Amino acid sequence: MRIGGRRKSVIFFLTFGILLVALALALNVGWILLNWRQVALLVLGIVFFALIITGLVLNTTFLIREIRRNEQHDAFINAVTHELKTPIASIRLYLETLKTRDVSEAQRKEFYDIMLADSDRLLQTVEQVLHAGRASHKQSLANVSVIDLGRVVRECLDLTRVRYNLNPDSLLYVESMGEARPRVAGDEDELRAAVSNLLENAVKYSGKEVHISVEVAALDDRRLAVRVADRGVGIPRGQLKRIFKRFYRVQGGFMKRFKGTGLGLFIVRSIVEKHGGRVFAESAGLGQGSTFTIHLPRA
């Protein structure tokens, strides 16, 4: 993925560290050698000192960032392992029951449905990881065509309604486009993935009471907006930007009950940026619901 870039920055900071040590040595030796030149020494000393302090601050920032990234990697590996293991264990259990016990026809059908749902979950996790891998590359879009975004969003809503067994009132759709159709030039599958990810999050982070409203609106002559608003757990103000980073998940006691990999919003942002748009989150704080908005250029 971005191993090349990371190796480069590690080499950069390593060289930087070595230079700093050399600078410190030069300062010490210079101090002794140039002792008689009081003024020059003072000026040099101040400059070198400022340089060393700046370097140390930069190095420490880099180290802290690396440590944080490592922690997020660990959390990600744990989350993915959990997301893979749970459905596999469940499928195994049902298969063993089917093999060793006599079950009624109705029960057998129920077991098949559960196993299908589990394999869907498995597939979704694997696809999410693969998609995130692709999203890290700065490739341009493959299948670009002019798409009716209203239709794509409505189809995603229908799918979410069926998948999570939601009643029609819990997912509202509004289109404020006037006469025009919300057309964008882009890759339909990718845009569908972006909208679905936002909808799935809205359902997941709503808990039991799901009230989601989705709006497709004209911002101006050149831009469209898709807004997904929920009344769920909300997002702390300080983390509204960070949640789009790869592997990033909001921490905190009650967030533990929500499972996930921290890839969804990273995928959304990559897709939207490849389409020349941007995405941002708004929330009045914890417990206040969240709104995610995508801006895309009109076709």
Residues within the interface to ligand ADP (CB under 6 A):
201-202, 205, 230, 232-235, 243, 248-250, 255, 260-266, 290
Q: Would you say 54 or 251 has its CB closer to ligand ADP? A: 251
With CB atoms as reference, the residue minimizing the distance to ligand ADP is 260
Q: In whole angstroms, how close is the CB of 173 to ligand ADP at the nearest point?
A: 17
Taking the mean position of all CA atoms in its chain, how far away is CA 106? 40
Q: In whole angstroms, how close is the CB of 268 to ligand ADP at the nearest point?
A: 8
Q: Would you say 112 or 254 has its CB closer to ligand ADP? A: 254
Q: In whole angstroms, how close is the CB of 202 to ligand ADP at the nearest point?
A: 5
Q: In whole angstroms, how close is the CB of 163 to ligand ADP at the nearest point?
A: 16
Q: Would you say 205 or 210 has its CB closer to ligand ADP? A: 205
Task: Name the phi and psi angles at 218, rounded to 5.
Answer: -85, 125
Please, which residues have CB within 8 angstroms of residue 174's CB and are 6 or more apart in sequence? Answer: 213, 214, 215, 216, 217
Q: In whole angstroms, how close is the CB of 71 to ligand ADP at the nearest point?
A: 14
On the CB side of 111, how many CA atoms lie within 13 Å of its CA?
18
Tell me the C-alpha distance between 268 and 273, whole Å: 9
The pair of three-digit structure tokens given for residue 109, joined into one six-digit string: 């059908």
Tell me the C-alpha distance between 75 and 79, whole Å: 6
The pair of three-digit structure tokens given for residue 143, joined into one six-digit string: 């299948």
Characterise 178 by phi-psi region: left (phi > 0), alpha (psi -120 to 50), beta (else).
left
Q: Would you say 186 or 234 has its CB closer to ligand ADP? A: 234
Tell me the C-alpha distance between 74 and 29, whole Å: 44
Q: Would you say 28 or 78 has its CB closer to ligand ADP? A: 78
